[in-house]
Amino acid sequence: MYNDTKMINHPLSNIISQTKLLEKLADQYGTPTYVYSKSRLEHNISELVKAISISFANYQIYYAVKANSNINIIRILKNKFNDLGCDCSSPGELFAAEKANVSMSNCVYTGNYESIEDLKTAFNAGAEINLDDLNSLNRLKTIGVPEYVSFRLNPGKGHGQFKGIITGGKDSKFGIPKEKIVEAYKAAKSFGVKRFGLQCHAGSSTLDAETFSDIAEQILKSAREVEDSLGRKLEKISIGSGFGIPYRDEEKPLNLQKLFKNINLVFKGYYGDDNKNWPTLCIEPGRILVADTGFILTRVTGTKSSYKQFIGLDAGMETLMRPALYGAFHRVQKIGENDGETLKYDITGRICENTDRISKDHNMPTINEEELCAIMDSGAYGYSMSHNFNTRPRPAEVLIDEEKLVLIRERESIEDIFRGCNV
């Protein structure tokens, strides 16, 4: 149960407190609407660059486009950090990166069970290709042999806030087991690949800096085995990301400077003190850059007293899938007056599934139909995982640039959903 009715030190608290601005936004663009803060986006990428640059001379940041593929969001990050690359896992994500003016040579394509058509798109675009399996290499060589290739390592263990976002270990569908990773590189070398990197992404939404030190140790152990087999040094080593954010008031932010300092020590143990000669450290952050920059502005469509107390919103699991999919928690804040009596509610949407719950046993101030709420920390894996179940159109997306409201994606219409049906 979530007991607090007011957020403590949330980066968007100032925006959430601006009732008139949010009422204006709702009137102008409707609800539900994804809302993002430009200043928070710029802050997050700046802090990440600062933290990694203290400990590493050679690094590359690949923004994980799957977290939020809005071209305007990517462009803001790119404008703040010109060397930004993108981690893409579909042709659509490559398209978004290119439209955001990210060079394809600064993009890595990380697929899994990808089709030949997917690989062809990435190859022809000039993106670096990170292969999930030796069979992926076999499919790729029917198209062409790139000069540079990396493989995704499954280190035999993973991490994550929920079972569904643990992407390493024996139950993971991703990557090549550490026991077979050398075989993959030998095969790639025999096919004519000249340059190599190594990638690993073991899980998501982790707040413990020590976890990443442990994963880095596993990665570098495999990296040295690969280097010994190839007779050459890897050019890049990616630790993925999985950098979490606090979804609850009581959680503490991930200490990025400590995280990279610890990983620096791991690299020293394998490559010596001169970090200019180390392989380039690559990271693929998504959540930590965009999650706390966004919220869903939604309107109460109904309240109900049954065996439980319910608040019904115009944003349900079709708008924000994470709670139904993972049991993920998101703070929900009433817009406007938050004082007075509170009740314990299940907060739900309009979808005809009993799993359509944004939050369970959530203490909220008494709230009435037509009042506004904000579902916090929805900037990552929010709109990008939204869908059309019950034939509900997807929402609009709006950027707050200081107090200026900028529409960065129009609301989908019912007609849009049926556009390809030729009726």
Residue with tokens 């079972």: 163
Residue with tokens 């709230």: 367
**How many other C-beta atoms are found inside a 10 Å radius of the C-beta of residue 307?**
5
Work out whether the CA dihedral 359, 363, 368, 371 comes out positive or negative.
negative
Instruction: Give the max Cα distance, the chain.
Output: 71
Among the listed residues 88, 200, 282, 352, the single catalytic one is 352
Nearest to 315 by CA among 390, 403, 256: 390
| Annotated catalytic residue 352 | yes
Cα-to-chain-centroid distance, residue 37: 16
Q: Which residues are catalytic?
A: 352
